[in-house]
Amino acid sequence: MISRSECQARDERDPLAPLRHQFYLPEGLIYLDGNSLGALPLAVSECLRTTLEREWGSDLIGSWNAHDWIGLPERLGNMIAPLIGAASGQVIVADSVSVNLFKLLSAGLNLKPGRTTVLSTTDNFPTDLYMAQGLAEMLGDQRCVLQTVGRTELVDGINETTAIVLLTHVDFRSGRMFDMSELTRAAQQRGALVLWDLSHSVGAVPLTLDADRVDMAVGCGYKYLNGGPGAPAFLYLAERHHIEARQPLAGWMGHADPFAFSPDYTQAPAMQGFLTGTPPVLAYRALEAALAVWGSVSIQQVRRKSVELAELFVALVDETSTLDELELRSPRHAADRGSHVAFAHPSGYSIMQALIDRKVVGDFREPDLLRYGFAPLYVRYVDVWDAVAVLRDVIETRIYEAPRYSVRGAVT
Amino acid sequence: MISRSECQARDERDPLAPLRHQFYLPEGLIYLDGNSLGALPLAVSECLRTTLEREWGSDLIGSWNAHDWIGLPERLGNMIAPLIGAASGQVIVADSVSVNLFKLLSAGLNLKPGRTTVLSTTDNFPTDLYMAQGLAEMLGDQRCVLQTVGRTELVDGINETTAIVLLTHVDFRSGRMFDMSELTRAAQQRGALVLWDLSHSVGAVPLTLDADRVDMAVGCGYKYLNGGPGAPAFLYLAERHHIEARQPLAGWMGHADPFAFSPDYTQAPAMQGFLTGTPPVLAYRALEAALAVWGSVSIQQVRRKSVELAELFVALVDETSTLDELELRSPRHAADRGSHVAFAHPSGYSIMQALIDRKVVGDFREPDLLRYGFAPLYVRYVDVWDAVAVLRDVIETRIYEAPRYSVRGAVT
């Protein structure tokens, strides 16, 4: 049996432990949902105060230059680049994951004339499939078709019609992780491009996009990057595609010379051409402050702790016989997982509500999944121990069967 | 001659004068660029502190329900609706003006099968033209063509190929205002839809979209609505089009049941179907706090003061013989203008730099335009008098010819 004091000892030895003090975390709360919304970095409050008072408030319109608001999309992109193994100049922060998918899917189809299929998995995150559906419906069958297959049929499904293989690196339900290098190679060998959604990977799993010769990627700012609810997203396009790539959301911020106010659109070179409208500065500033933590921590250290936290959680569930009702739906082997684990239980929704009531926050995904995310920047080993103890209590006492825990509400 | 003390007296009588105290304005600064970036409402600082600490910080993921983050796009839309003369349920806050143009242009083309032209004016705000160009390039000539004409050729240019007439209500350069009612009728009589860009109107000019039977509109949150740099934008779609309208940026937030995580996209009914990705909550909260001021002020009062401020500015320039070098490029008749005026001067750029140096902030638009915006919620009559006095001084002394005032930088 793993004891609570062993977990405390691991926290004492943990080189990442001091980082927890850089986050606001409510007293007594165990937050295992950083995979859905990252916790508030204290630096964000400070940064937004400055942005409001000194920049917007005092320097007003001049802040676009004086405080380089205009450079935020590129600057934040270059802060994210090392986290995903990308040389600078290939990542830009813009819009939402969904909108960025539309830009890159469109650009990818243009890069592969004669090929029309976007191939994805049936279990991909819905917005990835929806954006491809919206694009396909707009362009018509002659130009774009979305095809979805099971994970095991994926490689065989790539053929001479496949323009883009659209995959989410870490599955939002199971946490299962694709082999990015292998699948990128398989797609490219068959003449297709790959577009990876890194939403559940970035900030938790080391990524090597350049080395893997990935073509395109998108990712989320509000999960392990802690940029705040609905934080701006990012997109990556390998430099070798910069000259040719064209995207349809041709807004003024993507123009080669936006302040010339020319009536004709000329796409800006490189990643700037993937901007569309005026960037929401307050949201960018929050993300910028949140990204600063990566100056003092390596993603390898973070991954090591993430694996240990998840292993600890699974081991504690395993050794507790009353938790046999929970069925692990994540890969048992840590190398095949991202930074969250999922368990199925027929009363999953009610159990999660009862846990939240006891200040252990994970989340629930239909139809029966309990998800626990491990954000190594602020989650402690002892949190994992305590979370499983509360889980055991909730299951043993069957308190989750109380009617108040079955009332549904939407979460994201 | 109009005296400064007359202006002070007008401020004393001004029913809107107390509203200025709801904004942060730097001591000694005369800010006549609220048409580009609205000033900081004090309520925004307070609201963001709460959003950070109590909502994101303490209630974390639960805030999507507990603080109704999920309802922000619709709630803010319904706060904007009365400002544009729209019944509730027809406006939603989402993305940027540019992205919203793409959604509505696409939806409009689908509503007008057999018609392919988007007709606009050559002097429209560039992003409006660019987004239509991006869409046209994507869809091809058979499905979409952008045609631009001079303002006087507009009505004659609407014919049986015109799907959408795309117009900006108040021109960003001259401030010239279209007759929305008349042009909407002209377009519809010829079988076309109208899409109005309200970026330079909303919050400054009374609008009556429902009464004018407008089909579609977009608008900006960061000008006269004071929502902060790059604030989320809004879009309007008349209820009569809700059943049929389809848009291609089919992200999960626009799904009829986003949290069912179904693999197939089903567009949500009404305006919710025009959402795409996860909304940037911090930016929405800032806009929400900024919109609260409209609970205690009528747009008619605001318009009355806006007209008076602009009339005063023009009259003061007129009566100053040393300002004869400035050529009014806005309509002389107030009813034909929005809430800013523009003057041409060959040294416009340098003059504006010299003015900014003297704490009178307007902006410059290529090639030679000085723009002055009058945001009636916080601009005083005496500010206008002082601004013209400084302008006179800058022109008389020719201080703007100093080399330091000709160094170029981008502003937005």
CB–CB of B361 and A62 under 8 A? yes
Whether the bond between B367 and the residue before it is cis, its omega within 30 degrees of 0, is: yes
CB contact under 8 A, A40 and B57: yes
A156 and A179 in a single domain? The answer is: yes
A94-103 pLDDT per residue, tens: 999 999 999 9
Asked whether residue A412 carries a pLDDT value surpassing 70, the answer given is: no
Q: What is the CATH number of the domain that holds B400?
A: 3.90.1150.10
Helices (H) and strands (E) in chain A — how many of each? 12, 15
Taking only the tens of pLDDT, chain B with its 412 residues reads 899 999 999 999 999 999 999 999 999 999 999 999 999 999 999 999 999 999 999 999 999 999 999 999 999 999 999 999 999 999 999 999 999 999 999 999 999 999 999 999 999 999 999 999 999 999 999 999 999 999 999 999 999 999 999 999 999 999 999 999 999 999 999 999 999 999 999 999 999 999 999 999 999 999 999 999 999 999 999 999 999 999 999 999 999 999 989 999 999 999 999 999 999 999 999 999 999 999 999 999 999 999 999 999 999 999 999 999 999 999 999 999 999 999 999 999 999 999 999 999 999 999 999 999 999 999 999 999 999 999 999 999 999 999 999 887 644 4
Dihedral Cα A392, A315, A348, A352, nearest 10 deg? 60
pLDDT-based confidence at residue A365 (cuts at 50, 70, 90):
very high
Let me know if residue A70 belongs to a domain: yes
Choosing from B269, B295, B321, the residue where a domain stops is B295
Between A99, A265, A278, which is nearest B230 by CB? A278
Nearest to B250 among A33, A40, A133 (CB): A133
End-to-end CA distance of chain B: 35
- Asked if B309 and B384 touch (Cβ cutoff 8 Å), the reply is yes
Q: Are residues A168 and A141 in the same domain?
A: yes
Retrieve residue A370's tokens: 């309990």
Does residue A278 sit in the same domain as residue A390?
Answer: no
CA distance B235 to B217: 6
Active-site hit among B31, B222, B234, B378: B222
* Angle at the Cα of A218 from the Cα atoms of A214 and A224, rounded to 5 degrees: 110
Place of tokens 């500010």: B383
Residue B42 belongs to a domain? no
Cβ neighbours for A291, distance < 8 A, ≥ 6 positions apart? A76, A79, A80, A225, A227
Supply the pLDDT for residue B287: 98
Provide the 3-class DSSP secondary structure of residue A391: helix
The answer to whether residue A38 sits within a structural domain is no
Which residue in A106, A131, A276 is closest to B98 by CB distance? Answer: A276
The residues near A44 (Cβ < 8 Å, ≥ 6 apart) are: A226, A228, A286, A289, A290, B52
Average pLDDT, chain A: 97
Distance of CA A391 to the CA centre of its chain: 26
pLDDT digits (tens, 9 = 90+) for A48-61: 999 999 999 999 99
Q: Are B84 and B226 found together in one domain? A: yes
Both A137 and A183 in one domain: the answer is yes
Q: B71 in contact with A at a CB cutoff of 8 Å?
A: no
| Burial class of residue B112, CB neighbours in 10 A (0-12, 13-18, 19+) | middle
Within 10 angstroms of residue A229's Cβ, the number of other Cβ atoms is: 29
Confidence label for A377 from pLDDT (cuts 50, 70 and 90): very high
User: Is A133:A124 a contact under the CB 8 Å cutoff?
Assistant: no
Q: Rounded to whole angstroms, how far apart are CA atoms B225 and B70?
A: 22
Determine, for residues B96 and A277 on separate chains, whether the beta-carbon distance falls below 8 Å.
Answer: yes
Distance (Å) from the alpha carbon of A321 to chain B's nearest alpha carbon? 30
**Is residue B327 a part of any domain in this protein?**
yes
Query: Cα distance from B172 to chain A (closest Cα, Å)?
Result: 11
What is the helix, strand, coil percentage profile of chain A, to 5?
Answer: 45, 15, 40
- Please give the Cα distance from B7 to B152 (Å, whole number): 38
pLDDT at A409: 61
Is the same domain home to A131 and A150?
yes
B68 as an active site residue: the answer is: no
B223 counts as catalytic: yes
Q: Which of B295, B318, B343 is the last residue of a domain?
A: B295
What is the bridge-based pairing of β-strands A40-41 and A23-24? antiparallel
Q: Are residues B263 and B305 in the same domain?
A: no
* B356 contact residues in A (CB cutoff 8 A): 62
Please give the Cα distance from A347 to A353 (Å, whole number). Answer: 10
CA B332 to chain A, closest CA, distance in angstroms equals 24
pLDDT at A202 over 90: yes
Q: Which of A152, A150, A161, A97 is nearest to A120 (CA)?
A: A150
Decide if A144 touches B, using CB distance below 8 A: no
The pLDDT tens digits of the residues spanning A337-349 come to 999 999 999 999 9
For residues A157 and A178, the answer to whether their CB atoms sit within 8 Å is no
DSSP H or E stretch at residue B165? strand B162-168
Domain membership of residue A40 (yes or no) is no
Q: Which of B134, B199, B195, B139 is nearest to B164 (CA)?
A: B195
Active site residue B130: no
Q: Is A4 a catalytic residue?
A: no
For residue A41, being part of any structural domain is answered with no
User: HSE on the CB side for A236, CA within 13 Å?
Assistant: 31
**Distance between start and end Cα atoms, chain A:** 35
Shared domain check, A361 and A224? no
For the full predicted model, state whether its pTM sits above 0.90: yes
SS3 A394: helix
Residue A412 forms part of a structural domain: no
- Beta bridge partners, B341, equal B372
pLDDT of A407 strictly over 90:
no
Domain boundary among A240, A270, A295: A295
- Please name the residues between 47 and 66 in chain B that touch chain A, using a CB distance below 8 Å: 48-49, 52-53, 56-58, 60-65
DSSP A293-313: GGGS--HHHHHHHHHHHHHHH
Residues comprising chain A, all counted: 412
B215-258 residue pLDDT tens: 999 999 999 999 999 999 999 999 999 999 999 999 999 999 99
User: How far apart (Å, rounded) are the C-alpha atoms in residues A97 and B151?
Assistant: 38
Q: Indicate whether A179 and A233 sit together in one domain.
A: yes
Cβ atoms of B161 and B146 within 8 Å: the answer is no
Q: Taking residues A352-377, what's their average pLDDT?
A: 96
Paired with B170 in beta bridges are B177
Task: Provide the chain A residues 75-104 that lie in CB contact (below 8 A) with chain B.
Answer: 95-99, 102
Same domain, A204 and A100: yes
Whether B36 contacts chain A with CB within 8 A: yes
Q: What is the pLDDT of residues A98-124, one digit of tens each?
A: 999 999 999 999 999 999 999 999 999
Residues 101-140 of A with CB under 8 A from B: 102, 106, 122-124, 126-127, 129-131, 133-135, 137-139
What CATH number should be reported for the domain holding residue A78?
Answer: 3.40.640.10
Is position B411 within any domain?
Answer: no
What ipTM does this complex have? 0.97
Active site residue B125: yes
Q: Are A334 and A387 within one domain? A: yes
Domain residues for the domain of B286 are 47-295
| Interface contacts (A, B; CB < 8 Å) | 292
| Confidence check: pLDDT of A46 > 50 | yes
For the cut 70, the answer to whether the pLDDT of residue A72 exceeds it is yes
* Contact with chain A for residue B202, Cβ under 8 A: no
Which residues is A341 bridged to in the sheet? Answer: A372
- Give how many domains chain A has, as a whole number: 2
* B79 token code pair: 């706060």
CB-neighbour burial class of residue A261 (10 A; exposed 0-12, middle 13-18, buried 19+): middle
- B-chain CB neighbours of A122 within 8 Å are 263
A76 and A218: one domain? yes
